[in-house]
Chains A and B, each alone.
Chain A
Amino acid sequence: MIWPNLLSVVVPMYNEVGNVRPVVEAVRLALEPEGPWELIVVDDGSTDGTREELERAAGDDDRIRAIILPRNRGQTAALRTGLREARGDAVVTMDGDLQNDPADIPRLVRTLYEGFDLVTGFREERKDPMITRRIPSVVANRIIRWITGVSIRDNGCSLKAYRRELVDRLYLYADFHRFIPALAVSTAGARVTEVPVRHHARRSGRSKYGLSRTWKVVSDLLVLTMIRSFRERPLVPYVSAALLTFALAAAFGVRSALTAIEMGQLSMVFPTVTALLTGLAAYLVMLGLLAEAAVFHARERMPATSYLLRPAGAPEGPGERSQ
């Protein structure tokens, strides 16, 4: 039976007073027969008495701990706090609303030790409203898969299992909790897979999501594509774009020169377009240099390697990898 020396379960909660006890019970029920575990709940500035419930739960069981953020900081910040608190060799994150089923955790962990750094849940039968949640989610996941090149069908599922080595190399900020698999692959070279998990309708409390996130997701996706290429050479995408622009400028220039020879007089508009596009090309090269400089300076302060190295050959179990 493969089990980490300690499994940390991290659960961010925001105004989930009715879910504290069920979550604790479900986690205990699922993990008790498996091996050593701890539960870390991050209370993201709740105002509904979640905190008191957590104090009670933590008082009852040594393995349960809570971190109370003084103000609401958002899901990424809460998740980051929880991941930094986790002490286990493997870390599982999940939602605080019991839409994920803790009974799936053991399967996630076992898959993790088949040779992956990150295992994410894949909700086969979602129990969410069709129009506002499921259709946008399918479309978004298609686009994310296409853009990031990471073939995960369900980026939105919070139920995930991480190896310690990945947690230590994963830096979450802004709203990147939505794109953890893509981020893990492009910044840490993680091996990622997904396993089907159960999904329940909300039992208690209110959903904190809606359609309003579309623009944020689009913008973040653009950033992710950028991250994929700029990690090493930000100059490359910028210079490519500059070359493309310059080709366009050249086309306009040749065209206006031909017209000038033909007609014997120069029109104003085409040469101006040529000049504008040439300017844009130069501007893009300069921006690329700036980005390159930013990466160069940060590299000095970054960890020596951001890649997860592993011995070639057989998949490893817990503790087989040297730090």
Chain B
Amino acid sequence: MKPTGTRALNGEAAGSGQSREGAEPTARHKPAISVLVPVSERPSALEWIYAEYSAPLRQESLTFEFIFIVEPKFQELTLPLEELRKEGEPIQVLQTSHPIGDTGLIRAGAERANHSILLTLPPYPRIEPDRLPALLAPVLEGKPMAVARRWPRRDSWLNRLQNRVFHLLLTSVGSGGQIKDVACGVRAIHREVFDVLPFYGDFHRFLPLLALRAGFEVVEVEAAQHPGDRQPRIYGPGVYLRRVLDVLGLYFLMRFTDKPLRFFGLVGSGGILLGGAILVVLAVQRIGGQAIADRPLLLLGTLLVILGVQAIALGLVGEVIVHVNAPARERSRDRSTAQEPERVGYPPLDPDSDWKP
């Protein structure tokens, strides 16, 4: 990056000890990392995960902590972690009182995280641990987010097929093209960025896409798949149905949250046009002398028009909500220093000026 007084992030990397003329962040100010491990499905031995993935961080002499957020059914897995913690390892173990899903687990972990960079890891091996530094590098340099792409891939054909279908579905609804492995789950992200993303429901799976939509740059880093990630995974039909609904929900939210009428209006005008056409035909027949009062077609036409009007009226309520919240949304955007774009050519700060970039 050219040092022309640019600034990407207000995190520790760019903020402390960096002059306006853009000195490189120094090694001693390298930001620290909170590793979040949500434990909700098919976990490996957690102490093994800790040993495997903390080693490369230690080697790079990064400051880090591991936070395991564990659902109740996996409680006994935390015992070895407690041992390690007592020995002074930087580990936090959080237990939830009931199952809350990966998104909730990650959010709970982020609330307790002490450091400015969050790294999420599944509770089973996904990528080779020695690729972690490569994944973290862009984020340490100030990029908002980096995600791992399992490549080269050593997966079973069943997993590959599932992954392929998932991405096909994503691309067919117009997102996911830029990210080749959305489902990977090994992601590094700046705290401020994480905090402004709409992270709820089941959307942890789409975190990189949410970041892209919010205007952040997302770097994809290739990392060899871990052999332990190979075994075929088959889920119940409910899981697949939920995935499809997730993608459809994401499609709607990404395309239409700012302009609900574009969607509801399309549905509504379709209904009105079709129903209106039916009613016109009936009206012509009525004028021609036919009785229409007991024609079911009259009902269909009326129903279609009514549904159309309802859809548009609903879409307009959506627009009202979006509109009246515009100032609040803009203020929250202003607050998030992470989203600040780069600035070029700003004059040196005048201490008397009340203007702040």
Contacts and interface: CB of A to CB of B under 8 A. Distances in A.
Interface string B179-215: 0000000000000000000000000000000001001
Nearest to A296: B324
A173 B326 contact: yes
A150 to B, nearest CB: 17
B320 A55 contact: no
Contacts of A54: 344-345
A55 B326 contact: no
B345 A58 contact: yes
Given A223-B323, A276-B302, A65 B261 contact: no
A287 B317 contact: yes
B302 A267 contact: no
Interface stretch (B10-18, B149-157, B305-313): B305-313
The prevalent SS among residues of B at the interface is helix
B284 interface: no
Interface stretch (B46-54, B102-110, B114-122, B292-300): B292-300
A226 B345 contact: no
Contacts of A172: 326
B215 A70 contact: yes
Given A269-B299, A270-B293, A298-B328, A73 B345 contact: no
Contacts of A238: 313
The range of chain B's interface size is: 35 or more
Given A269-B295, A291-B316, A302-B324, A171 B330 contact: yes
A279 to B, nearest CB: 8
Contact of A287 (B266, B313, B326, B334): B313
B259 interface: yes
A316 B36 CA distance: 59
Nearest to B340: A67
The prevalent SS among residues of A at the interface is helix
Nearest to B218: A71
Nearest to A248: B302
Given A70-B341, A71-B216, A283-B310, A269 B316 contact: no
The range of chain A's interface size is: 35 or more
A88 to B, nearest CB: 11
A273 B298 contact: yes
B319 interface: yes
B2 interface: yes
A227 B323 CA distance: 8
Nearest to A294: B321
B4 interface: yes
A238 to B, nearest CB: 7
A216 interface: yes
Contacts of A65: 343-346
B293 A58 contact: no
A70 to B, nearest CB: 4
Nearest to B265: A219
A4 interface: no
B303 interface: yes
A291 B317 contact: yes
B324 A87 contact: no
B243 interface: no
Contacts of B309: 241, 245, 280, 284
Given A230-B320, A284-B309, A298-B324, 15 more contacts: A67-B342, A67-B343, A68-B341, A71-B215, A172-B326, A173-B322, A216-B262, A222-B261, A222-B265, A222-B316, A267-B294, A273-B298, A277-B302, A291-B317, A295-B324
Which A-B residue pairs are the 6 nearest by beta carbons?
A: A58-B345, A298-B324, A66-B344, A171-B326, A68-B342, A70-B217
28 contacts: A55-B2, A64-B345, A68-B343, A70-B144, A70-B341, A73-B215, A171-B330, A173-B322, A173-B323, A173-B326, A175-B259, A216-B262, A218-B265, A219-B262, A219-B265, A223-B316, A230-B323, A267-B294, A269-B295, A269-B298, A273-B298, A273-B302, A279-B306, A283-B313, A291-B316, A294-B317, A295-B324, A303-B327
